[in-house]
Amino acid sequence: MSIQVQQVSKQFGTFAALHDVTLDVPDGQLVALLGPSGSGKTTLLRVIAGLETPDAGRVLLGGQDITHAGPGERGIGFVFQHYALFKHLSVFENVAFGLKVKRGGQRPAPAIIRDKVMRLLELVQLDWAAARYPAQLSGGQRQRVALARALAVEPQVLLLDEPFGALDASVRQELRDWLRRLHDEIHLTSIFVTHDQAEALEIADRIVVFNAGQIEQEGTPEEVYDQPATLFAYRFLGKANVLAQADGQVTLARPHDLHLHLTSVAGGIPGQITRIHVVGPEARVDVARSDGLGSLEVHVPKTQLGGVQVGQTVFLSAERQVVLPDKAGT
């Protein structure tokens, strides 16, 4: 089901968490809200969930205005950053919670609840842990229980607040892949909040970049990475090398878009290698510019490194570069 956010604003005291935000999420997409801490992405997610009331604007779900509906009436599933599992309930009971609190006629029969919960636990590969309590599970397992719990009420949309934020790096990677696969399986419209650009780039269909309570850019991962609309978006999505800065314009290039030359080339930037650092198949080379305008980072495949050494003078050219308006403060 599609989600429309129309001109939503939200103020906390003197702090504007959201300022006139408008966003369309088409049915069946997995969308990432990406931005630094305090940029408003979590607030937007909570407004969609009904956990915060916007000061202005509307929220539509499948074309229906739900701005003033309670969080339980919206048909959303919400996954909390710190899971918010009910400690006193077993894994099974946690997942069954949303079904058991349904009012009289709508509450499924116990046998149906049982089947459904067990199916969901199988889906998140935790059917073996039904009788356990949250305290007996690892972080990743808990997050999967939280997900199963949110899915149990058959939500129209799934909202995840920094779902992997509290997990170890390896578990995180595993869960990312798993979430993407899950989404491909069930095609539930989903929005997740993250401050990790790699995470957003890896699994989202679309990325919405947030900054200071406003949407900075919106697009596919390729679009936002390769054609950032603003300097902020460019910088937030990856390492940015400033090639030139003049007349309110700044020219930037990503490290792997730079080429390393041993001899002078046209328009090449001369510099001296200060450090060579090999990370797996890739070599990261730091070059101090001879014109004294700072240093640049170049990524080249290790096999193409040749015999360059620290201290050697090299020339850099950009295969692809972006020119953006130079806004101060980014």
Partner 1 sequence: MTSRLSSGRPARRHILPGLNLTLGYTLLYLSVIVLIPLAALVLKAAGLGLDGFWAAINTPRVWSALRVSFLTALAASLVNLPIGLVIAWTLTRYRVPGRRLVDALIDLPFALPTAVAGITLTTLLSPNGWLGAPLLEAGLRVAYTPLGIIVALIFIGLPFVVRSLQPVLEDLGYEPEEAALSLGATPSQTFARVILPALYPALLSGFTLALARTIGEYGSVVFISGNLPFKTEIAPLLIVGKLEQYDYAGAAAVAVAMLVISVTLLLAANSAQARLGRRGQA
Partner 2 sequence: MTTSKASVPQLRRTRLQRWWPTFMVTLTLILVGLLLVLPLLVVLITAFRSGVGPYLQALQTPDTLSALRLSLLTVLIVVPLNTVFGVSAAWATAKFDFPGRSLLLTLIDLPLAVSPVISGLVYVLLFGRQGWLGPWLEANDLKIIFAPAGIILATTFVTFSYVARELIPVMQAQGKDDEEAALTLGASGWQTFTRVTLPNIRWALLYGVIMCNARALGEFGAVSVVSGKIRGLTNTLPLHVEILYNEYQTVAAFAVASLLALFALLTLGLKALIESRTGHSHP
Applying CB under 8 A, the residues found at the interface with partner 1 are: 12-13, 15, 17, 37-43, 46, 50-53, 55, 70-71, 81, 161-162, 165, 193
Tell which one of 23, 44, 49, 148 touches partner 2 (CB under 8 A). Answer: 49
**Residue 87 beta carbon to partner 2: minimum distance, rounded to whole angstroms:** 7
The DSSP result for 37-61, as a single string, is: TTSSHHHHHHHHHTSS--SEEEEEE
Helices (H), the chain: 41-49, 91-100, 110-123, 139-152, 169-186, 197-203, 221-226, 231-237
With contacts defined by CB under 8 A, how many residues of the chain interact with partner 2?
Answer: 26
71 near partner 2, judged by CB under 8 A: yes
Q: 34 with 215: CB under 8 angstroms?
A: no
Tell which one of 68, 82, 187, 261 touches partner 2 (CB under 8 A). Answer: 82
Which residues, 185 to 214, sit near partner 2 by CB under 8 A? Answer: none
70 near partner 2, judged by CB under 8 A: yes
CA distance linking residue 270 with residue 158, whole number of Å: 51
110 near partner 2, judged by CB under 8 A: no
78 near partner 2, judged by CB under 8 A: yes
Q: Which partner, partner 1, partner 2, none, binds residue 178 by CB below 5 to 8 Å per kind?
A: none
Q: Among 57-65, 73-81, 118-126, 167-175, which window interacts with partner 2 (CB under 8 A)?
A: 73-81
69 near partner 2, judged by CB under 8 A: no
Q: 40 with 216: CB under 8 angstroms?
A: no
Q: Which is nearer to partner 2, 43 or 197 (CB)?
A: 43
Q: Among 15-23, 146-154, 179-187, 279-287, which window interacts with partner 2 (CB under 8 A)?
A: 146-154
Q: Is 298 helix (H, G, I), strand (E, B) or coil?
A: strand
Q: Which is nearer to partner 1, 10 or 176 (CB)?
A: 10
Residues 6+ apart with CB under 8 A from 97: 86, 89, 149, 152
Q: Which is nearer to partner 2, 79 or 243 (CB)?
A: 79
Burial of 234-253, coded b for 16+ CB within 10 Å and e otherwise, reads bebbeebbbbeeeeeebbbb
Q: Which partner, partner 2, partner 1, none, binds residue 37 by CB below 5 to 8 Å per kind?
A: partner 1
Q: Supply 108's token pair.
A: 């499924």
Q: Which is nearer to partner 1, 17 or 129 (CB)?
A: 17
Length of the chain: 330
Q: Among 150-158, 211-219, 228-236, 259-267, which window interacts with partner 2 (CB under 8 A)?
A: 150-158
Q: How many Cβ atoms sit within 10 Å of the Cβ of residue 138? A: 11
The dihedral over CA atoms of 199, 33, 98, 86, expressed in degrees to the nearest 10, equals: 60
**Residue 46 beta carbon to partner 1: minimum distance, rounded to whole angstroms:** 7
**Residue 71 beta carbon to partner 2: minimum distance, rounded to whole angstroms:** 4
Q: Which is nearer to partner 2, 43 or 211 (CB)?
A: 43
**Residue 9 CB-density burial (10 A; 0-12 exposed, 13-18 middle, 19+ buried):** middle
**Residue 133 beta carbon to partner 2: minimum distance, rounded to whole angstroms:** 12
Q: How many Cβ atoms sit within 10 Å of the Cβ of residue 114? A: 15
Residue type, 55: D
72 near partner 2, judged by CB under 8 A: yes
104 near partner 2, judged by CB under 8 A: no
Residue the block writes with tokens 């700044």: 250
**Residue 312 beta carbon to partner 2: minimum distance, rounded to whole angstroms:** 48
30 near partner 2, judged by CB under 8 A: no
